[in-house]
Amino acid sequence: SVVVVGSVNLDAVTVCERFPQPGETVTGVSVAFGQGGKGANQARSAARSGAATVFVGAVGDDGAARTVLDSLAGAGVDVSRVARTPGSTGFANVTVDGAGENHIVVVPGANASVRVDDAARSAIADADVLLLQLEIPLPAVVDAARAAREAGTVVLLNPSPVQPLPGVLVELLDGVIVNRDEEKALAEVVGRVPHVVTTLGGDGARATGPDGTVDTPGFAVDVVDTTGAGDAFAGALAAHWGLPPAERLLRANAAGALTATAAGAAAAPTVAEVDAFLAAR
Ligand code: ADP
């Protein structure tokens, strides 16, 4: 089973022909609401990959809270450990113009108040794998990792958005899941973590661990939107951590590739969809 301690947002994506100038109003073409936040996206992917998955995070006391929790629960994620805090749920306001350029405003909202309480600690202790990102306060990330280490739960970190990592956190990590940019920015840290999984976009992924290095080539797919592909990869990898390295890497790579074939950040495939995709290759 997997515990994700991280962020959850309501995403609103509006499409317009051209961006408004300051002070100007334009008429948009469409709007769509979705669930986002790296933590929630990765939890959704882990659950759809077949792992019993608990999400630990925080939502506000607004209407967005119900929307994002229903969405996560609908994907099979246990949301009983999500805290309700006064104020707004995390929110990402995305505007896309006719050329596909975007403007994004992210309001952390309740994500800024995520804490690891006793209920979260016990969920972490009961899990096989803890999956973390960096869209919540660093003390919560460190607390979660420490609780996992004490209980023998595997600790995986997707260090995104990338930032310097305190040594105390690095020492608690069993593995990192990084894209090329994060690997470069954290080169010194990456050298100190037992398992390093690097996603290579359309070129697939590579995993280096105590037993050596495995590569999995990219899948040739019709790419629609790569948003969320990295999150789908991370969630699937955590869900399949108990499999041999080559097998979990292949399944994570398939989950990432399939996510790139659909619009939206929350498009992670189910284990059945991944099975069908792999069987057809
Ligand atoms: P991020 O989006 O976090 O920067 P990557 O671009 O490395 O991460 O993509 C994460 C994973 O998503 C890849 O390892 C791969 O499995 C899948 N993926 C991303 N882009 C493509 C693509 N163009 N074709 C096939 N798979 C892709």
> CA 130 → CA 69, 122, 155, 183, distances in Å?
20, 12, 5, 20
70 is catalytic: no
Amino acid 264: pLDDT: 72
Atom of ligand 1 nearest to the CA of 181: 4
Q: How far is the CA of 237 from the centre of ligand 1 (A)?
A: 13
Closest C-alpha to ligand 1, atom 26: 257
Token pair of 225 as six digits: 């939107």
Q: How far apart are CA 14 and CA 25, in angstroms?
A: 13
Amino acid 25: pLDDT: 97
| Beta-strand runs (E) in the chain | 2-5, 9-15, 30-36, 53-56, 58-59, 83-84, 90-96, 102-107, 129-132, 154-157, 175-179, 195-199, 205-209, 212-216
Ordered per-residue pLDDT tens for the chain, 281 residues = 999 999 999 999 999 999 999 999 999 999 999 999 999 999 999 999 999 999 999 999 999 999 999 999 999 999 999 999 999 999 999 999 999 899 999 999 999 999 999 999 999 999 999 999 999 999 999 999 999 999 999 999 999 999 999 999 999 999 999 999 999 999 999 999 999 999 999 999 999 999 999 999 999 999 988 889 999 999 999 999 999 999 999 999 999 999 999 877 668 999 999 999 999 98
Atom of ligand 1 nearest to the CA of 204: 14
Any idea which residue has 């509006």 for tokens?
14
Strand partners, 57: none
pTM of the model: 0.96
Q: How far is the CA of 179 from the centre of ligand 1 (A)?
A: 8
Token pair of 216 as six digits: 């999995």
Amino acid 219: pLDDT: 97
ipTM of the complex: 0.98
Query: For ligand 1, which residues put their CB under 6 angstroms from it?
Result: 179, 199-202, 204-205, 218-219, 221, 223, 226, 229-230, 233, 253, 256-257, 260
